[in-house]
Amino acid sequence: MNVRECCAEGKHEHEHGCCGEEGEEKETLLLPRLIIALILLGAALYTKRLPLYIAAYAVSGADVVIAAVKGLFKGKVFNESFLMTLATVGAFIIGDYAEGVAVMIFYGFGEYIQDKAVDKSNDSINELISLRPDRARLVEDDGEKIVAPAEVKVGDIISVLPGERVPLDGVLISGSATADTSAITGESLPRDYSEGEEICSGVIALRSAIQLRVTKKLEDSSTERIFRMVTEARENKSSGERFITRFAVVYTPVIVFAALILAFVPPIFVGHLASWIHRGLIFLVASCPCALVLSVPLTYFAGIGLASRSGVLFKGSVFMERLAGVDTVAFDKTGTLTRGELSLVDFDGEDREELFRLAACAERGSEHPIGRAISPLYSGEAEITDFEELVGGVSATVDGVKVVAGNTALTGIRSNSPNTAVHVLKDGKYIGSLYLADTLRPESPDAASELAKMGIKTALITGDSTPAAEAAAKELGITEVHSSVLPDEKLNIIKGLAGKTAFVGDGINDSPALSGADVGIAMGGMGREAAMEAADVVIMDDSPAKVPLAVKIARKTLNTAVIVVAFALLVKLAVLVLGACGLANMWLAVFADVGVALIAVVIAVLMCRKV
């Protein structure tokens, strides 16, 4: 079975021997066979001997004829192999031996070139699948041991040498590290990691060896999740692909019967049976739907490959098709448009150094996110005693001074700032306030404005307070804001938005909205499993800028599919009319089949190489 028939049945080529070792062997042998068939055809044309024509036909078309016979036994009569066999055998019956052989040889060359094009489009997906290392360096008391990644347990220590891929997700247990994350996130610049940070599998260690404490089993690791998503992407077909498959099933038998009518009905009235049979054969070859059946799935496949190289994973072409038609993109705020961690954005107070020193020292013993944001403001030495974690803040004695740092309820100090305010008291006297906020990611404003340029509305749906949500929305240029909402309320808001909606989120609380939106887009760079499982599209590096990029890729892929279908239909219709009128020969018919399919493949691959 050739690649086009695999696509026609919506199955993977490797299930039919179209790829893998058997498929590769057939593809390798095809070109020498076609060259031998050409030599035999030349000899036949010179000697006019029928056995040489038959030999040339057998060498070039044996696989096609065998596939046609197998189709008959399986009840799949009207496939491309059947049409080609019927047309070429018919040419032999009416004495057009050279034409029958030439058609089969040309068809074979078309198959060979198209298979190469399909292989090229598979490369980007196969690169992702190859991210899965097949071995891990397990660190034991007596040294390192090379084992399969599946043998490593959560909590084990693994070592990764410079230039090697990280086989399993894990936490860096000592020092720092630099890694090439381009295969996972699409980002070209290396990323630096500190002790305690999680490093996902599939990235490449740079500069020095690193040691990780494994945090996930192989089946839960980042590369395995990517592999599952790629597999789902191959299986989840778009409505356009399903339509083409159904269309081919109905279209092919109709064309066969139309060709029979063209071949045998007109001779009843006007005679010249051989001439009308020839027209019927031309009509049959020209009508093959392979250009449609191959080009549409391949277009979506190329689009998915382009997105994958850019750090965007679609779980299927059906979601690519949906994303191309979205009217509104709704964003979660924390961890999606923002960094997901507090940082100092402003302060009040006459003595900045004193304010920072006392607040930072008082917060050193706190594990609260506010404490972790403030304590780095001063790294000098101080005598800290009587530390106490309070409701709404902390208190401590710093170098003999009683310091209280906390919110309005704890300190009695009020603030009109939309940011989180930490008021500082020194021996009961107010000395200033620190203002913290979860700052926007640098790419967020550009992402919102780019979507607006594309004619897509944006909305902000967050559980954050109204002042914080409105401040972020104002900075981003988003006018529709829903704040202080619970997870189930997010879903209801999504359902109430006009038109087709995409929702972008990152946490477990976003899962209902991700599942309920027309398209769910998850930020997956930090390994947020719940969001990634619920979503239809995954942004691998947490960059909001990838959202408009994903929409652009989806739109371009859909437009390309429309272009190749329109091109194929127009050419086929023209040749069918010419063939019925006796103005086309078998060569033109083959071009309408193989040539158009090949051109459609080239258009699909070239148009989906970049945005």
Round to whole Å and give the CA distance between 498 and 327. Answer: 8
For range 56-84, the mean pLDDT: 82
332 catalytic? Reply is: yes
Q: Residue 541, Cα to own-chain centre: how many angstroms?
A: 13
Q: Is 25 helix (H, G, I), strand (E, B) or coil?
A: helix
Number of Cβ within 10 Å of residue 587's Cβ equals 15
Beta bridge partners of 436: 344, 420
Task: Answer for the pair 517, 503: CB distance below 8 angstroms, yes or no.
Answer: yes
Query: Which CATH code of 3.30.565.10, 2.70.150.10, 3.40.190.10, 3.90.1150.10 fits the domain covering 154-216?
Result: 2.70.150.10
Predicted pLDDT at 443: 92
For range 96-102, the mean pLDDT: 81
Question: What is the DSSP code string of 353-412?
Answer: HHHHHHHHHHHTT--SHHHHHHGGG--S---EEEEEEETTEEEEEETTEEEEEE-HHHH-
Round to whole Å and give the CA distance between 146 and 390. Answer: 50
Round to whole Å and give the CA distance between 34 and 29. Answer: 9
Any idea what the Cα angle at residue 58 is, between residues 585 and 99, rounded to 5°? Answer: 15
Tens-place pLDDT, residues 158-203: 999 988 989 999 999 977 788 887 666 545 457 778 888 888 888 8
Determine the CATH number of domain 340-439.
3.40.1110.10
Predicted pLDDT at 432: 96
Tens-place pLDDT, residues 488-529: 788 889 889 988 999 998 866 677 788 888 999 988 755 456
Backbone angles phi, psi at 146, to 5 degrees: -80, 120
Backbone angles phi, psi at 177, to 5 degrees: -150, 155
- The residue among 528 and 468 whose pLDDT is bigger is 468
Which of these, 203, 161, 210, lies nearest to 186 by C-alpha position?
203
Give the pLDDT band of residue 454 (cuts 50, 70, 90): very high
Q: What is the largest CA-CA distance in the chain?
A: 117
- Domain locations in the chain as residue ranges: 3-128+229-306+554-607, 154-216, 340-439
Percent residues over pLDDT 70 in the chain: 82
- Pairing label, strands 384-390, 177-180: unpaired
Task: Answer for the pair 521, 550: CB distance below 8 angstroms, yes or no.
Answer: yes
Predicted pLDDT at 241: 57
Task: Answer for the pair 560, 240: CB distance below 8 angstroms, yes or no.
Answer: no
Round to whole Å and give the CA distance between 319 and 339. Answer: 27
Q: Residue 509, Cα to own-chain centre: how many angstroms?
A: 24
Task: Answer for the pair 179, 204: CB distance below 8 angstroms, yes or no.
Answer: yes
For range 466-471, the mean pLDDT: 84
Q: Which of 332, 348, 518, 541 is catalytic?
A: 332
